[in-house]
Amino acid sequence: MAGSQLKRLKASLRDQGIIGPQQSKKQKRKNAEEQRARPDKRLQRGEALASIREQFNPFQFKTNARGPKFEVTTNKPVNEKTAMGIKGRPGVAKAAGEERRRQTILVEMQRRNKVGGLIDRRFGEDDPNMSLEDKMIERFTREQQRNHKKSAMFDLEDDDEAMGGLTHLGKPLFDAEDLPPLKDDFDEEDLPSGDESDGSRAERRMLKRQRLTDAADGPEEEEDGQPDRKKTKNEIYQEIIAKSKQHKYERQALKDEDDELRAELDEALPELQALLFQRQKPPSTAAGATVATGQMKAALEKDYDIRVKQLAADKRAQPAERTKTEEEVAEEESNRLRELEEKRLRRMRGEAIEEDDEEGDGDEEDGKGEKKKKKGKGAAAEEVYDPFNTEENDEFGLGKGVKYRPTATELGFDDEDDFLIDDDLVASGSDLELESDADEDDSDDEAGSGSGSDDDDDEFVKGILTEAVTKDPIFRVSEGKGDDENGIPYTFPCPQDHEEMLRAFEGIEVPKLPVAVQRIRALYHPKLDSKNKERLGRFSQVLVQHVAYLGDRFELHWFPALESLTRHIHSLAKSFPIEVAKAYRAHIQEIEQERPLALSVGDLLVLTAVGTTFPTSDHFHQVVTPAMLAIARYLGQKIPQTLADYATGTYLAILALQYQQFSKRYVPELMNFCLNTLCALAPEAPSKLGGFFPIHEPAAGIRIKNAHKTTIRKLTCADCQPNSSSSSPPAASASLKVAILNTTTTLLKTAAETWHTLPSFPETFTPALHILHHLTSSSSTPHLPPTVITTFTDTLTPHLTRLLRLAHLTRRPLELHHHRPLAIRTYIPKFEDSFDPDKHYDPDRERAELAKLKAEHKRERKGAMRELRKDAAFMQRENLRVKKERDAAYEKKYKRLVAEIQGEEGKAANEYAREKEARKRKAARGR
């Protein structure tokens, strides 16, 4: 547009119709009338003027320095302002800020140090015209009114604005929009946008500030009709209600439809039934008995349901398993055995494949942890084992799932070892006496046929049963119910501790005990009573104690009975593994605490029983490992003083080797003990030994002297009892010595056979060879029986030499570390698909979050500082203004006073001059 600013202004004013050519009086009047009718006309005028003003103020907008940008596609909503490149309206924003300050800070400033305390807002308090009664009446009325208003929230009569008038779908029917625009300048659409719409930041700050100052007015409220307007709660509820009503209606309609359809079908049913059952019904009844069919139908349905249930419950409905042929049974059995053997091997290698084993390993690891923790280095010690743990877990992953392992009880029932407890025997009650033997035989036969290799079992049981013990002097009827021909009662209480057992078995000879135990097991079979399981569990524990008890008082002919008791424990252990294990462990603990180096025969028998009850080849076993440790402790730490000690040690050494027969694990203590025993028994102390085991000087009288004519015998348990060997004739002690010597050397031979594949076999067994040489040397031979010497020279020494040579030949240098080299740890590089340089890609979430918070804090701080600065400036300005005002007022007053005084002075001067003049005149006159 050409022309000067003024011209342009005039032109635009003219365009808006604010100024125009001169109007006639008539026209003016008409216009005025119109205006009165439409008051918005003036407003329109104001609006137009404002826009013109805006248009002509170059500082009204903040724009891009280089004009509007080119059009690009962005996510941001495009509006005209951004299109024009307008970034803000500093003037408006400033004015708004100023205004807000005036409303808040200025008010505060003015009230500062001036007002305070309470404002008495009671009605009529300041009104001197009202009497007290009037005031009271007025107040009461007001209060009543207020209460009334509150109670009448939903009073339709009450035309309250709070209800928002009539609405539809949450919107007022007569919206402000429909009305002619009634806004003030501040609400102009384009006005707040400078701060508001151009970024959420400014908006937020604005809101914050608003909240802070708690300004009375909320002019920034956004206009209705914008798409992202937030709905009020009221609106939301309305919508929900409407929706649910709609759904309800729809459901109703659907149901109605269904009902109709059903009714239709019901009508057609009789026909259909007739068709189905092909039954000719007299049409008369069919027509008349619609009610009857309904009843019949119900009865039929009921009947049908019952039938179905009966059929489902019938056992014969289950598909029966085919009877297996003998080969199949045998094959299954062998498969089962093979599987068990495999499992044993895996346990032996300490692998954790099954769930149970894993748990076991876990326990073990825990145990190690505990062990170390005891030393006060929990974490570090566990770390020690870490490599193995993790590797094991990697190798035999935890995720292999739960394999089914037959439970002990299940195995127990079809097991040939389960001692002849069949249900008939248990159930028959009064027939017990007559049938028991036969029953036992039967079940024995059954059991025997199961494996085909256990025929001796019934033999031994029978033998015990038929053996008569009527001569028993302490025999006594313990129960009135009746005994068999052996004097063993048929019923027993189930012993729950050892004393009870002693009482129960009082009068029963030890060799008969298995029968009693068997009867107890039958009487308290877990199937008979729910409590029996617990009872038998206790019983099995007591049985373990009893074996130790009997062992301590053993007699030679008891051993078959003890064996059978041990076997009972084994078969009970299948049903009650935890109880039996606990009993064994308790016994081992007792040994450890009371007599770690003085084991009794009972202890020896218990340790033997452990070896037969539990698999000794396992890498770790809750019972076998402690038992093995107890044995090794005796072998390793006991310094034998008497021959009984040597005998006990020899028994334990045999036991230790028997434990390791399968897994072939090395027991250093065994070697130490055997070699030491040989050194101690040798007629002369060996001069030089190649070994690294500590040699204990034997007590006096241990060395074999002059036993040339002694015959060789085997060791017995009686040799382990200290009293038997202390005061015995020299011949007996010599035979015992020779027996120990002989047993130990045989044991060494077996040990060599067991361990000859171990990598350090030569180092382990060379000392043994040295001792054998020493024993066969000229210094020893005169004292030893010639048969022993010949076994040494003819079988033992050559055997050992051969094994040593073999080990020497097969020995290779160690190559333990053919490990795959450890890879350097690598990381997969991370790529961001839609990389935005402005964005922060911090992989650390917390740090990212922190950075975000920090940035916000910084922003807020800057904003707050800016605002504070502005506030300060405002206050300064205000103060200055006030001061100026005050100064001006003072100046004015001063001037007025001066002027007044001057006026008075002038007046006085004039008067004086006048007076003077007058006097002069008077004088002149007088003269």
Nearer CB in complex with another protein: 731/855: 731
Query: Distance between CA 85 and CA 474 in Å, rounded?
Result: 120
- Of 85, 124, 219, 615, the one binding another protein (CB under 8 A) is 615
Show the binding pattern over residues 341-360: x = contacts another protein (CB under 8 A), - = does not.
Answer: ---x--x--x-----x--xx
Q: Which positions from 81 through 110 interact with another protein, judged by CB under 8 A?
A: none
Q: Which positions from 368 through 407 interact with another protein, judged by CB under 8 A?
A: 368, 370-372, 374-375, 377, 380-381, 383-385, 387-388, 391
Nearer CB in complex with another protein: 191/609: 609
Longest dimension (CA), the chain: 199
Query: Distance between CA 743 and CA 791 in Å, rounded?
Result: 12
Number of Cα atoms under 13 Å in the Cβ half of residue 920: 6
Does 800 contact another protein by CB under 8 A? no
Size of the site for another protein (CB under 8 A): 131
Nearer CB in complex with another protein: 356/500: 356
- Sorted by sequence, the CB contacts under 8 Å of residue 698 that are 6+ apart come out as 640, 679, 680, 681
Q: Which positions from 546 through 575 interact with another protein, judged by CB under 8 A?
A: 556-557, 559-560, 562-563, 566-567, 570, 573-574
Give least dist CB 471 to another protein, A.
Answer: 20
Does 408 contact another protein by CB under 8 A? yes
The answer to whether 532 and 523 have CB atoms below 8 angstroms apart is no
Tokens of 476: 């006594």
Does 340 contact another protein by CB under 8 A? yes
Does 613 contact another protein by CB under 8 A? yes
Give least dist CB 551 to another protein, A.
Answer: 11
Q: Which positions from 633 through 672 interact with another protein, judged by CB under 8 A?
A: 633, 636-637, 651, 654-661, 663-669, 671-672
Query: Distance between CA 59 and CA 646 in Å, rounded?
Result: 115
In eight-state DSSP terms, residue 826 is -
Task: With CA atoms as reference, report the closest residue to 494 among 505, 507, 486.
Answer: 505
Does 463 contact another protein by CB under 8 A? no
The answer to whether 510 and 469 have CB atoms below 8 angstroms apart is no
Task: With CA atoms as reference, report the closest residue to 290 among 307, 309, 266, 310.
Answer: 266
Select from 449-457, 538-546, 677-685, 918-926 the region that touches another protein (CB under 8 A). 449-457
Q: Which positions from 713 through 772 interact with another protein, judged by CB under 8 A?
A: 713-717, 743, 746-747, 750, 758-764
Nearer CB in complex with another protein: 111/808: 808
Nearer CB in complex with another protein: 305/386: 386
Does 416 contact another protein by CB under 8 A? yes
Across 294-336, where does the E strand assignment appear?
none
- Sorted by sequence, the CB contacts under 8 Å of residue 428 that are 6+ apart come out as 435
Q: Which positions from 498 through 557 interact with another protein, judged by CB under 8 A?
A: 556-557
Nearer CB in complex with another protein: 366/900: 366
Q: Which positions from 282 through 311 interact with another protein, judged by CB under 8 A?
A: none
Nearer CB in complex with another protein: 746/779: 746
Q: Phi, psi (5° rounding) for residue 87?
A: -105, -20
- Of 630, 643, 678, 738, the one binding another protein (CB under 8 A) is 630
Element (H, E) at 13: helix 5-16
Tell me how far CA of residue 885 lies from CA of 111, 179, 686, 879, 889, in angstroms: 18, 45, 127, 10, 6
- Sorted by sequence, the CB contacts under 8 Å of residue 354 that are 6+ apart come out as 343, 402, 403, 405
Q: Which positions from 38 through 77 interact with another protein, judged by CB under 8 A?
A: none
Give least dist CB 457 to another protein, A.
Answer: 7
- Of 488, 543, 632, 741, the one binding another protein (CB under 8 A) is 632
Give least dist CB 826 to another protein, A.
Answer: 17
Nearer CB in complex with another protein: 670/702: 670
Element (H, E) at 62: strand 62-63
Give least dist CB 853 to another protein, A.
Answer: 39
Tokens of 890: 């003072």
Give least dist CB 356 to another protein, A.
Answer: 6
For 162-186, what is the HEC assignment? HHCCCEECCEECCCCCCCCCCCCHH
Give least dist CB 778 to another protein, A.
Answer: 25
Tokens of 817: 């570390």
Nearer CB in complex with another protein: 432/550: 550
Query: Distance between CA 511 and CA 509 in Å, rounded?
Result: 6
- Of 51, 273, 293, 612, the one binding another protein (CB under 8 A) is 612
Does 823 contact another protein by CB under 8 A? no
- Of 396, 620, 781, 789, the one binding another protein (CB under 8 A) is 620
Query: Distance between CA 144 and CA 625 in Å, rounded?
Result: 92
Give least dist CB 577 to another protein, A.
Answer: 4
Q: Which positions from 838 through 857 interact with another protein, judged by CB under 8 A?
A: none
Q: Phi, psi (5° rounding) for residue 840?
A: -100, 125
Query: Distance between CA 655 and CA 627 in Å, rounded?
Result: 11
Does 922 contact another protein by CB under 8 A? no
Q: Which positions from 881 through 900 interact with another protein, judged by CB under 8 A?
A: none
Task: With CA atoms as reference, report the closest residue to 620 among 386, 350, 369.
Answer: 350
Give least dist CB 497 to another protein, A.
Answer: 19
Query: Distance between CA 399 and CA 390 in Å, rounded?
Result: 14
Which string of DSSP letters, residue by residue, matches 569-592?
A: HHHHHHH-HHHHHHHHHHHHHHHH
Torsion of CA 774, 775, 777, 781, to 10 degrees: 160
Does 363 contact another protein by CB under 8 A? yes
Give least dist CB 678 to another protein, A.
Answer: 14
Q: Is 649 exposed, middle or buried (0-12, 13-18, 19+ CB in 10 A)?
A: buried
Does 628 contact another protein by CB under 8 A? yes
The single-letter code of the amino acid at 21 is: P
Select from 336-344, 426-434, 466-474, 829-837 the region that touches another protein (CB under 8 A). 336-344
Does 188 contact another protein by CB under 8 A? no
Give least dist CB 412 to another protein, A.
Answer: 9
Nearer CB in complex with another protein: 360/507: 360
- Give bridge partners of residue 171 from the DSSP assignment: 168
Does 710 contact another protein by CB under 8 A? no
Nearer CB in complex with another protein: 508/667: 667
Give least dist CB 367 to another protein, A.
Answer: 5
Nearer CB in complex with another protein: 47/356: 356
Angle at the Cα of 170 (from 164 to 172), degrees rounded to 5? 45
Give least dist CB 842 to another protein, A.
Answer: 32
Give least dist CB 633 to another protein, A.
Answer: 4
Give least dist CB 729 to another protein, A.
Answer: 19
The answer to whether 646 and 740 have CB atoms below 8 angstroms apart is yes
Q: Which positions from 581 through 610 interact with another protein, judged by CB under 8 A?
A: 581-582, 585, 588-589, 592, 596, 608-609
Nearer CB in complex with another protein: 822/923: 822
Tell me how far CA of residue 152 lies from CA of 170, 221, 233, 451, 491, in angstroms: 21, 30, 22, 95, 89
Query: Distance between CA 269 and CA 332 in Å, rounded?
Result: 58
The answer to whether 441 and 455 have CB atoms below 8 angstroms apart is no
Give least dist CB 858 to another protein, A.
Answer: 44
Task: With CA atoms as reference, report the closest residue to 467 among 512, 501, 523.
Answer: 512
- Of 150, 230, 817, 925, the one binding another protein (CB under 8 A) is 817
Query: Distance between CA 341 and CA 338 in Å, rounded?
Result: 5
Query: Distance between CA 889 and CA 883 in Å, rounded?
Result: 10
